[in-house]
Amino acid sequence: MSGAGTPGSVDGTQNEQYYLRLHLLLMKAGDVLRTMFDSIITPANLLLELRNHKRVIDKLKKDGILSNDQYILLNPNPASKRFDVSLLIVLLRNICNLQPNNPFWKEKDNNKITDTMPPVIANIVRIRNLRNKMQHKHVAYLDQKEFEDNWRLLGHVSVIVV
C-alpha cells in the first residue's frame, strides 16, 4: 500500500523525512548552544558560576522558568553535557551576560527578527523559536519549502552562534 503523504502519516513520506531531518539538525543545534555555553562558563568553573548566580537561578525556579528536573541538573554535580536546549537557553540568557532584560529575547516569530538585534541573541532566539515550533507540531510533517527555509536558517545560525 502506497502512502498518500498526508499530514500525520507514519509511512515514510518525503514530508515526514523532512521533519525528521530537521529535528535531527535541531538536536545538533543543541550542541552548538552547549559549545557556546561552555566557552562562556567553562566546565571547570560551572559549579562556582552556578553558586555565584544562585539567587538568579532560585528566582527562575520560583517563577516557573526552570522546571524541577532542570533545577536538579544544576545541583550538586552539574555537567553541561546533561543540559537540554531549553536549559542552555535559559542559562545563556540569565547568567552569561547576554542582556537578559533585552526585549529581543521575547520575540516568538523568526520573521520579525531584524539586523538590529545583537547577532548572538538573535540566533539563540531563532534556534529557540524553531525548536518550539517543531516540538509543538501535531504531526511529523514539513513541506519542502518549510524544510528548506528552516534548514538554511539553522545552518546559518549554527555557524554564527559559535
Q: pLDDT tens-digit profile of 20-29?
A: 999 999 888 8
pLDDT of 1 above 60: no
Written as one string, the DSSP assignment of 26-90 is HHHHHHHHHHHHHHHS-GGGHHHHHHHTHHHHHHHHHTTSS-HHHHHHTSSS--GGG--HHHHHH
Cell 562562556 belongs to residue: 40
**Separation between Cα atoms, residue 3 and residue 5, nearest integer Å:** 5
DSSP reduced 3-state for 121 = helix
Q: pLDDT tens-digit profile of 31-52?
A: 999 999 999 999 999 999 999 9
Q: At what angle do helices 119-135 and 144-161 cross, to 10 degrees?
A: 140
pLDDT of 87 above 60: yes
The pTM (predicted TM-score) of the whole model is 0.84
